[in-house]
Amino acid sequence: MRIGFVQMTPVFGETCHNVNHAEMLIRQVTADLLVLPEFFATGYLFTDEREVWSLAEPVEGGYTTGRLVSISRETGTALVAGLPERAGKSCFNSAVMVTPEGDLYVYRKTHLFDREKLFFNPGDTGFEVFTWRDVRVGIMICFDWFFPESARTLALAGAQIITHPSNLVLPHCPQAMVTRCLENRVFAVTANRGGSEKRGSMYLNYIGNSRIIDPGGKVLGQAGDEETAVVITDVNPWESDNKQITSRNDLFADRRSEQYRLS
């Protein structure tokens, strides 16, 4: 199975332009599953709630999701991509997974980062695993990585590949994802954006460094901090199903949940 990421640098507020750019990048490669960044079509650094509401879209029937569905059908590539989702009176920081068969799945970011808390509702979908052509795919979004429960919940639910649309600004995630993969024995694809955004008095620099990592913690593919990169690698998702660490240690069977006292 060929999986990978599109690292790109959206122009803030230019949804149509950004989707066109993503489509051009997607069409350059042949892949089964590609992951795009968080808010890949809108940009990230919203100045106020009005801006969020003007750029957020419903998933069902929305422009961006509709374009992703068409691109997926035409290219044969399943796509995972982040967008601000309008749902009734709420906005969520969401990611969709669309497949060439027309399936549409939604994940709403559980752990909101910093100013996202001003504009978005905390996600209410939980961490679900989506099965596509027998492969089990999970989604978490950017800052979710900081909470090991996110990847663990997906792995315990059977995810073989964790897709991770991101707009990373802190430097730690690329390295931390090696541990997330190792401690859960899963593949992960982190798709980050590049570049920077200056909006009013606010400025953010995004670190790029998108990565594909295997269940042994090996980095199979990566980008630097460039604005645009598409990287694909061949993987066998069923490697994730082997949770054996030594002949006496099975990662999940050895868990001692009664000792953890998690609240």
Contacts with ligand ACM by CB under 6 A lie at: 38, 113, 142-143, 167-169
38 is catalytic: yes
Q: Letter for the amino acid at 111? A: H
- Minimal distance in Å, beta carbon 136 to ligand ACM? 24
Q: How many CA atoms lie within 13 A of 38 on its CB side?
A: 28
Q: Which residues neighbour 117 within 8 Å (Cβ) at sequence distance 6 or greater?
A: none
The residue annotated as part of the active site, out of 57, 85, 91, 109, is 109
Residue 208 CB coordination number (10 Å): 22
Whichever of 129 and 207 has its CB closer to ligand ACM, that residue is 207
218 is catalytic: no
198 is catalytic: no
Identify the three-state secondary structure at position 240.
Answer: helix
Whichever of 86 and 193 has its CB closer to ligand ACM, that residue is 193
Whichever of 114 and 134 has its CB closer to ligand ACM, that residue is 114
Q: Rounded to an integer, what distance in angstroms lies between the CA atom of residue 81 and that of residue 96?
A: 6
User: DSSP characters for 191-206?
Assistant: E-B-SEEEETTEEEE-
- Minimal distance in Å, beta carbon 216 to ligand ACM? 26
The dihedral sign for the CA sequence 244, 245, 251, 254: positive
- Minimal distance in Å, beta carbon 169 to ligand ACM? 5
The residue annotated as part of the active site, out of 91, 142, 173, 181, is 142
Whichever of 170 and 245 has its CB closer to ligand ACM, that residue is 170
- Minimal distance in Å, beta carbon 8 to ligand ACM? 15
- Cβ distance 221 to 212 under 8 Å? yes
User: Which residues carry out catalysis?
Assistant: 38, 109, 142
